[in-house]
């Protein structure tokens, strides 16, 4: 026992912070989800959640899944070019450019895209001015597409950053060998580089999904009408009705969703480690 | 050594503040313009009249969310059995005023101040079905209406029924922000229920009958069909933005925001307002004093100033285009004809009296919003 004491003492501040600032409120939210207005146990909050927000829950899953897929595709393309690109100037410029959105907060992304993507917004005005489309054919993107664009725009640099690092650290010999045998760059990326960097890609995507599930500002700025994402409903539940029960139920559902993603990821890594 | 020095300096600075100086804490729900109004307009006048005292305004955010934060803050201090609460004056929405009175969080002060007798509108006595008489002083009254572009809509629909027909013929030309993006959309939905679900009087005044809900399904079903042909906008300001960019030709807005945006050039000057029959809701914002405010006397003084005819005329009406909180007869003599008329350019006082409605009483209000979520949104 005495042997462990200094260690336990060292850990205790961190542990206390986790228990009091994270675990206790989390337990409160979970129990709150199963309580009715009088404090008794009930599934009422979940029934109401289903009646009012079943569409929004589905919508959230679709939006986040689609955003994650697009983010993955774009970051594989960018990280792949950074690793395998042959023009040093192009690689240097790309390396400098792609990180910018990392430093822009979500709320600002929402704010920028709100005027950029509007029907008569900056993007369409540019298209019209350059003669690509006529004013009659402009379409606004301030709906689910706007949310996806914002998420992908913001998360791609993050995933790319991790992925490019992983790709840079793989054994260059495998790449050179494939190149000597005449493989095209695309084939090297997809068959040699990507499989070796795949675990990192999965980690980055898992983190991205959790981040996207928790963003309130972007959907609020771009598309808060129906259908919308879970975070907006949680905020509305509390702000309009002061109803923490259903908000907790919604929170628990989004926790289960992110938990499922984390579980799939963990199972994957454990299987790989076992091999 | 250094730390000692700074400590001494800090003590000297703190000690130098005169003991009689009081800082009045005003906490306000609503958009940034509310904080600006108090800090930039009211505070300087108050501080001039009460030398040494200062006013500190804090905003808690727009919509009922902002008011909800104020309720929670006072509730927490009550639960903690504090003798003095850290808020002297709060500005809240109608819905919150009722809750605050029900939870015994407010001081009854209206009879104690001079301007108390100048309030005549019934919404200062009843807030969405709760008796708040004596506890609140209306800061202003605001109203929703439909803004339209006369170039695109020369003959705007004058009733909700005509609007529904117009939208069918002109798909995506009408825009509103649903119910989760701000109160102008909520007001439009409430107006729709008033117009299409029969007994609007019960909704507005009670008494609450839980079985009333059944009657909304038809009105909300029609609203769902109506929604197929509208453009959804991102928020109160989002509707105005889209009107300004010509993306929609019509949409519900707050009258004060509309005039303020027009005055600052964010909206084209030729846009107009119409208040369709049978009416759209508006609401006051109320000054309240927490039951255990630290400086109740000074708070009363502050509210008396804020609701005086002079401030109501030059601040509320002239600067912010709100309708006054106290009776208009006290305010009108303080303003020139042109300023007064500007407030009633598009919506006449008679239309305002006939079609300016209150929001429904709270159980119906929550019921309508929830029914909308269930039937129209999901």
Instruction: Select the residue of A54, A143, A240 nearest B378 (Cβ to Cβ).
Output: A54
Give the separation between CA B103 and CA B75, rounded to whole angstroms. Answer: 8
Nearest to A258 by CA among A223, A225, A187, A210: A210
Give the separation between CA B197 and CA B215, rounded to whole angstroms. Answer: 6
**Whether pLDDT at B17 is above 50:** no
Mean pLDDT within A146-169? 93
**Whether pLDDT at B14 is above 50:** no
B370, closest residue in chain A (CA to CA) = A52
**Whether pLDDT at A41 is above 80:** yes
Question: What pLDDT, on the 0 to 100 scale, is given for residue B3?
Answer: 53
State how far residue A239 is from chain B, nearest Cα, in angstroms.
Answer: 4
Mean pLDDT within B78-85? 92
Topology (CATH) of A50-274? MetI-like fold (1.10.3720)
Cβ-Cβ pairs closer than 8 A, A with B, add up to 86
Task: For residue A223, list chain B residues with Cβ-Cβ distance below 8 A.
Answer: 232, 234
Instruction: Select the residue of A224, A226, A239 nearest B235 (Cβ to Cβ).
Output: A224
pLDDT digits (tens, 9 = 90+) for B50-81: 998 999 999 998 777 889 899 999 999 999 99
Asked if A53 and B65 come within 8 Å (Cβ–Cβ), the reply is no
State how far residue A222 is from chain B, nearest Cα, in angstroms.
Answer: 6
DSSP string over B255-313 = HHHHHHHHHTTSS-TT-EEE--BT-EEEEEEEEE-BTTBS-HHHHHHHHHHHTSHHHII
Range in A262-271, B159-168, B316-325 the model is least confident about: A262-271
Q: What does the mean pLDDT of chain A come to?
A: 88
Question: What pLDDT, on the 0 to 100 scale, is given for residue B182?
Answer: 81
pLDDT digits (tens, 9 = 90+) for B103-130: 999 999 999 999 998 888 888 888 888 8
ipTM higher than 0.85? no
Residue B236: both structure tokens together: 């109160």
Q: Are A244 and A44 in contact (CB under 8 A)?
A: no
State how far residue B237 is from chain A, nearest Cα, in angstroms.
Answer: 10
Helical (H) or strand (E) element with B45: helix B43-49
A22 touches chain B (CB under 8 A): no
A54, closest residue in chain B (CA to CA) = B378
Kindly state which CATH superfamily the domain B142-282+348-377 is placed in: Periplasmic binding protein-like II (3.40.190.10)
Question: What pLDDT, on the 0 to 100 scale, is given for residue A228?
Answer: 86
State how far residue A132 is from chain B, nearest Cα, in angstroms.
Answer: 19
What is the CB neighbour count within 10 angstroms for residue A11?
Answer: 11
Task: For residue B378, list chain A residues with Cβ-Cβ distance below 8 A.
Answer: 51-56, 226
pLDDT digits (tens, 9 = 90+) for B185-214: 999 999 999 998 877 778 887 778 776 556
Task: For residue A240, list chain B residues with Cβ-Cβ distance below 8 A.
Answer: 64-65, 179, 366, 369
Question: What pLDDT, on the 0 to 100 scale, is given for residue B214?
Answer: 60
A145 touches chain B (CB under 8 A): no
Question: What pLDDT, on the 0 to 100 scale, is given for residue B320?
Answer: 85
Residue B43: both structure tokens together: 């505070």
Give the separation between CA B84 and CA B31, rounded to whole angstroms. Answer: 27
State how far residue B85 is from chain A, nearest Cα, in angstroms.
Answer: 22
Q: Are B27 and B58 in contact (CB under 8 A)?
A: yes
B232, closest residue in chain A (CA to CA) = A225
Range in B2-16, B32-46, B81-95, B155-169 the model is least confident about: B2-16
**Whether pLDDT at A177 is above 50:** yes
Give the separation between CA A185 and CA A190, rounded to whole angstroms. Answer: 9
Asked if A224 and B370 come within 8 Å (Cβ–Cβ), the reply is no
Question: What pLDDT, on the 0 to 100 scale, is given for residue B310?
Answer: 92
Question: What pLDDT, on the 0 to 100 scale, is given for residue B6?
Answer: 53
Percent of chain B with pLDDT over 90: 51
A56 touches chain B (CB under 8 A): yes
Q: What does the mean pLDDT of chain B come to?
A: 87
How confident is residue B1, by pLDDT bands cut at 50, 70 and 90? very low
A225, closest residue in chain B (CA to CA) = B178
**Whether pLDDT at A1 is above 70:** no
State how far residue A214 is from chain B, nearest Cα, in angstroms.
Answer: 17
**Angle in degrees, CA A89, A90, A96, rounded to 5:** 90
> Comparing A40 with A100, which gets the higher pLDDT?
A100
Mean pLDDT within B279-292? 93
pLDDT digits (tens, 9 = 90+) for A198-252: 989 998 999 999 999 999 989 888 876 768 899 999 988 888 888 888 999 999 9
Asked if B370 and A241 come within 8 Å (Cβ–Cβ), the reply is yes
Residue A239: both structure tokens together: 């702000």
**Whether pLDDT at B265 is above 50:** yes
Residue A137: both structure tokens together: 């054919």
Question: What pLDDT, on the 0 to 100 scale, is given for residue B309?
Answer: 92
Question: What pLDDT, on the 0 to 100 scale, is given for residue A64?
Answer: 95
Instruction: Select the residue of A223, A233, A239 nearest B63 (Cβ to Cβ).
Output: A239
Give the separation between CA B81 and CA A191, rounded to whole angstroms. Answer: 67
Give the separation between CA B281 and CA B360, rounded to whole angstroms. Answer: 9
Tokens 């390396």, residue located: A95
**Whether pLDDT at B4 is above 70:** no
Percent of chain A with pLDDT over 70: 98
Task: For residue B29, list chain A residues with Cβ-Cβ distance below 8 A.
Answer: none
Residue from B224, B234, B251, B374 whose CB has the most chain A CBs within 10 Å, to mutate: B234
Task: For residue B180, list chain A residues with Cβ-Cβ distance below 8 A.
Answer: 224-226, 228, 232-233, 236
State how far residue A98 is from chain B, nearest Cα, in angstroms.
Answer: 29
Question: What pLDDT, on the 0 to 100 scale, is given for residue B213?
Answer: 58
Task: For residue A51, list chain B residues with Cβ-Cβ distance below 8 A.
Answer: 374, 378
Straight-line distance from the first to the last Cα atom of chain A, in angstroms, rounded to the nearest whole number: 37
Question: What pLDDT, on the 0 to 100 scale, is given for residue A79?
Answer: 93
pLDDT digits (tens, 9 = 90+) for B221-232: 999 999 999 999
Nearest to A36 by CA among A249, A253, A238, A251: A249
A221 touches chain B (CB under 8 A): yes
CATH of domain B2-141+284-343: 3.40.190.10
Question: What pLDDT, on the 0 to 100 scale, is given for residue B2?
Answer: 53
Instruction: Select the residue of A55, A120, A225 nearest B232 (Cβ to Cβ).
Output: A225
Cis peptide upstream of residue B106 (ω within 30 degrees of 0): no
Task: For residue B242, list chain A residues with Cβ-Cβ distance below 8 A.
Answer: 118-119
């Amino acid at each position: 026992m005495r042997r462990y004491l200094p260690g336990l003492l060292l850990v205790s501040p961190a542990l206390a912070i986790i228990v009091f600032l994270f675990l206790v409120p989390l337990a409160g939210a979970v129990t709150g989800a199963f309580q009715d207005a009088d404090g008794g146990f009930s599934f009422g909050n979940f029934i109401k959640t289903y009646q009012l927000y079943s569409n929004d829950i589905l919508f959230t899953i679709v939006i986040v899944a689609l955003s994650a897929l697009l983010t993955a595709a774009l970051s594989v393309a960018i990280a792949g070019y950074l690793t395998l690109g042959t023009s040093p100037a192009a690689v240097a410029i790309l390396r400098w450019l792609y990180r910018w959105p990392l430093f822009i907060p979500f709320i600002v992304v929402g704010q920028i895209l709100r005027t950029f993507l509007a029907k008569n917004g900056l993007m369409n005005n540019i298209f019209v001015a350059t003669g690509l489309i006529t004013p009659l054919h402009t379409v606004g993107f301030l709906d689910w597409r706007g949310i996806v664009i914002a998420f992908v725009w913001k998360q791609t640099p993050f995933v790319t950053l991790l992925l490019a690092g992983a790709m840079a650290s793989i054994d260059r010999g495998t790449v050179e060998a494939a190149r000597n045998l005449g493989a095209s760059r695309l084939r090297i990326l997809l068959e040699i580089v990507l499989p070796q960097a795949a675990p990192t890609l999965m980690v980055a995507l898992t983190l991205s999904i959790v981040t996207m599930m928790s963003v309130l500002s972007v959907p609020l700025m771009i598309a808060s009408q129906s259908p919308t994402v879970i975070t907006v409903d949680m905020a509305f539940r509390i702000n309009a009705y002061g109803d923490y029960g259903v908000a907790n139920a919604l929170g628990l559902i989004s926790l289960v969703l992110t938990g499922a993603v984390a579980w799939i990821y963990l199972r994957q890594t454990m299987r790989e480690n076992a091999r | 050594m250094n730390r000692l020095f700074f400590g001494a300096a800090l003590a000297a600075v703190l000690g130098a503040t005169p003991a009689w100086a009081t800082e009045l804490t005003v906490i306000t729900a609503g958009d940034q313009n509310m904080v600006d109004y108090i800090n930039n307009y009211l505070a300087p006048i108050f501080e001039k009249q009460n030398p040494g005292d200062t006013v500190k305004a804090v905003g808690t955010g727009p919509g009922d969310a902002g008011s909800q934060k104020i309720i929670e803050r006072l509730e927490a201090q009550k639960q903690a059995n504090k003798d003095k609460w850290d808020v002297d004056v709060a500005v809240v929405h109608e819905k919150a005023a009722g809750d605050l009175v029900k939870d015994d969080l407010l001081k009854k002060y209206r009879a104690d101040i001079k301007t108390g007798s100048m309030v005549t509108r019934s919404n200062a006595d009843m807030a969405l079905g709760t008796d708040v008489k004596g506890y609140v002083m209306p800061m202003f009254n605001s109203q929703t209406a439909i803004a339209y572009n006369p170039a695109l809509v020369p003959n705007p629909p004058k009733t909700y029924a005509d609007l529904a027909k117009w939208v069918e013929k002109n798909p995506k030309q009408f825009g509103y922000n649903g119910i989760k993006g701000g109160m102008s959309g909520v007001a439009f939905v409430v107006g729709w229920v008033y117009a299409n679900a029969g007994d609007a009087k019960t909704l507005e005044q009670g008494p609450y009958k839980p079985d009333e809900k059944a009657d909304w399904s038809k009105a909300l079903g029609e609203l769902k069909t109506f929604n197929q042909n509208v453009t959804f906008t991102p928020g109160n300001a989002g509707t105005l933005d889209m009107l300004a960019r010509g993306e929609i030709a019509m949409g519900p807005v707050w009258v004060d925001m509309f005039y303020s945006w027009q005055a600052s050039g964010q909206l084209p000057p030729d846009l107009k307002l119409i208040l369709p029959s049978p009416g759209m809701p508006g609401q006051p914002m109320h000054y309240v004093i927490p039951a255990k405010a630290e400086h109740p006397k000074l708070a009363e003084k502050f509210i008396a100033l804020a609701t005086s005819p002079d401030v109501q005329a030059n601040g509320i009406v002239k600067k912010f285009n709100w309708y006054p909180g106290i009776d208009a007869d006290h305010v009108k003599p303080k303003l020139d004809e042109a300023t007064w008329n500007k407030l009633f350019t598009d919506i006449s006082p008679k239309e305002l009296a006939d079609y300016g409605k209150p929001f429904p009483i709270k159980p119906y209000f929550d019921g309508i919003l929830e029914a909308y979520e269930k039937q129209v949104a999901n």
